[in-house]
Structure 1
Amino acid sequence: MSEQRVTIAITDGVADVRLARPEKRNALDPAMFEGLVLAGERLRDEPGVRAVVLSGEGPDFCAGLDFGSFQAMRDGQRLSATAELPPTDGPAKATGQRAAHVWTTLPMPVIAAVTGNALGGGLQIALGADIRIVAPDAVLSVLEIRWGLIPDMTGTQVLPELVGRDRAKELTFTGRRVSGTEAVRIGLATRVADAPREAALELAREIAAVSPHAVSAAKRLLESSGRVDVSTQLAAEQTEIGALIGSPNQKEAVAAGFEKRAPDFRD
């Protein structure tokens, strides 16, 4: 997996995915971009995975682009473009966009566990997750403006949806750093925890215990909410509920509930 920049361990339906370049604060280089995309694409089709936890080895989640990338930009080069990836039919075409967007395409929920720094591209990777659990003293920033850049890894799409258009502009125009506590207050993160990875894994195990088909349907609907017209969204609700009612896992959920036992769901 791309010089082991990204590792995956799967236990009881939970995929523990880690950015594994702690000596460089998990900074993004071509190999890290490649590793993130390939990890996401692998898990998209991995049988038995019902939830994903995305975190960084060491004290930081991801400090953004590494210095080599900034140095190359002075000569007009984009090192991320050198990542070796198969072509994609998805809306995210650029390498950096794919590294963040791929997590939204997984059928199962993705939970980012953020400690230390989540800066620039690192923050945008976290924004690709469905849920963000952050340490109170984590540092998050739309840092690109400090390097004369803009967020170009789907951040301009996702950020206004989370924090509102005006606050997204303020964060983007200034590059100011916010703590994990403030990130939760403004909607940039979901909740704080003193041990984000452990909290994320606990939540992932909870999600893995319910019907995977219902969770996937819910994720599809919540991803499209606000991005399609109301008629299309409401029609999609009925399509999804129609497919769930009477399905094997829905029958098992009802039976387990009445029989007061743990359900045995099938993928």
Structure 2
Amino acid sequence: MTSASSSYFDLQHDSATGIARLTLNRPERMNTMDPGFFPALRDAIHRLDDEGGTRVLILSSTGKHFSAGMALDVFAGANMPMLDLSSSRKRQAFQTGLRRLMACFDAIDEARFPVICAVHGGCIGGALDLAAACDLRVCTADAFFTVQEIHIGMVADLGSLQRLPKIVAPGMARQMAYTGERVDAQRALAIGLVNAVLPDADALALHTNELAAQIAAKSPLAIAGSKLALNQARDHATADALAQMTLLQSAIFDIGEMEKAITAWKAKQPAAFEPLAPLERS
């Protein structure tokens, strides 16, 4: 087991299982996000992906709420020079800076391993952008989700408006975006925003750990390929996604991997899969 901490989260990785856990650790500030949070999260995800040993990541938090999203003092401007839009050059810089913030959550979507978001309490504003970038979401019965930005006179801009319509019905995504209403846990389950609702934090942790263990027991090569294919299908027409699937399968089809999986499945024993190859990031 290896662990690391930052001022925003704690990160643990169990090399025996391939399960990593990233836990937001600023409960006194309701796990709000400031400019430093985004690159810290991006770099942590990239590091896990580059090393190749992570099979699944659990993203959770401490305190009363999962996260209250972007810290409101950020919008005062002193902490965020990119909010100065007083000239064409500064507006161009704003666009570049915003895309870099977006890319920090894209890192979750692009990682070779699935990410499970375990939500308790409020998942508010930017936290919903974060949760929407994850593969799976599960929550406690007291959880709620809201596009908070509409209440402060701005458009949500870190991915929820782009990802929510591909998770829930488009009309529901629009209702959330236009009203900022709180979607409680049972409604989130009904509309497909979450995969399961658990009664309390202990039950959520148990369920999330079991779900992560199921994923981690599978071939990491097949899991990575499945995630890549699902993302392609989400973002492209069916014909294009099928064309990509032929190339993907020809690249990763591995008889040896399948033999290991079939032998383990028949014996009802865990298979000893090799980790993914490490990456060299430029």
Task: Tell me the TM-score normalized by structure 1.
Answer: 0.87
Corresponding position of 1:102:
107
After TM superposition, the structure 1 = structure 2 runs for residues 179-198 of structure 1, keeping only pairs within 5 Å, are 179-194=184-199, 195-198=203-206
Deviation at 1:193, TM superposition (A): 1.6
Specify the code of the residue in structure 1 equivalent to 2:12.
A
Q: Which amino acid aligns with 2:116?
A: I
Q: Distance in 1 between matches of 2:213 and 2:267?
A: 22
2:231 corresponds in structure 1 to 223
- 3-state SS in 1 of match to 2:235: coil
Please give the secondary structure, in 2, of the residue aligned with 1:55.
strand
Alpha-carbon spacing, 1:96–1:197, altered in 2? closer, same or farther (3 Å): farther
1:7 aligns with 2:15: no
Residues 58, 212 of structure 2: 8 Å contact kept: yes
Equivalent pair of 1:4/1:35 in contact (CA under 8 Å): no
C-alpha distance in structure 1 between counterparts of 2:74 and 2:52, whole Å: 36
The alignment of Structure 1 onto Structure 2 pairs a total of residues equal to 256
Structure 1 CA distance, aligned partners of 2:242 and 2:127? 34
Secondary structure at the residue paired with 2:36? helix
SS in 2 for 1:118: strand
For 1:202, the equivalent position in structure 2 comes to: 210
Shift of 1:216: 0.7
Q: CA deviation at 1:260?
A: 4.2
Partner of 1:22: 27
Q: Indicate conservation of the 8 Å contact 1:136/1:193, yes or no.
A: yes
Q: Which residue matches 1:87?
A: none
1:92 Cα offset (Å): 9.9
Unaligned runs of 5+ in 1: 80-90
Unaligned runs of 5+ in 2: 85-95, 276-282
Residue 159 (structure 2) aligns with: 154
Aligned to 1:237: 245
CA distance in 2, matches of 1:233, 1:61: 34
Contact 2:5 2:11 in 1 (8 A): no
**How far apart in 2 are the matches of 1:129 and 1:122?**
11
The answer on 1:120 being equivalent to 2:125 is yes
**1:31 is matched with which residue?**
36
What is the Cα deviation at residue 102 of structure 1?
Answer: 1.3
SS at match of 1:238: helix
Amino acid at match of 2:228: R
Q: Deviations over 1:102-141 (max 9, x none)?
A: 1101101100000011000011101110000011110210
* In the alignment, structure 1 residue 254 sits paired with structure 2 residue 274: no
| Corresponding position of 2:222 | 214
Q: In structure 2, what is the equivalent of residue 172 of structure 1?
A: 177
Distance 1:41 1:78, change over 3 A: farther
What do residues 49-79 of structure 1 show as CA deviations (whole Å, max 9, x unaligned)? Answer: 1000001122221111112113338x98549
Cα RMSD (Å): 2.4
Distance 1:260 1:111, change over 3 A: closer
CA distance in 1, matches of 2:81, 2:23: 31
Q: Distance in 2 between matches of 1:92 and 1:200?
A: 34
The one-letter amino acid paired with 1:212 is P
Q: For 2:158, what is the secondary structure of its paired residue?
A: coil
Q: 2:54 aligns to what SS in structure 1?
A: coil
Q: Report if the CA contact (8 A) 2:10-2:23 is conserved.
A: yes
CA spacing shift, 1:185–1:260, aligned 2, 3 Å: closer
What is the match of residue 163 of structure 1?
Answer: 168
Query: Given residue 220 of structure 1, which amino acid in structure 2 is its aligned partner?
Result: L
> What is the alpha-carbon distance in structure 2 between the residues aligned to residue 145 and residue 10 of structure 1?
37
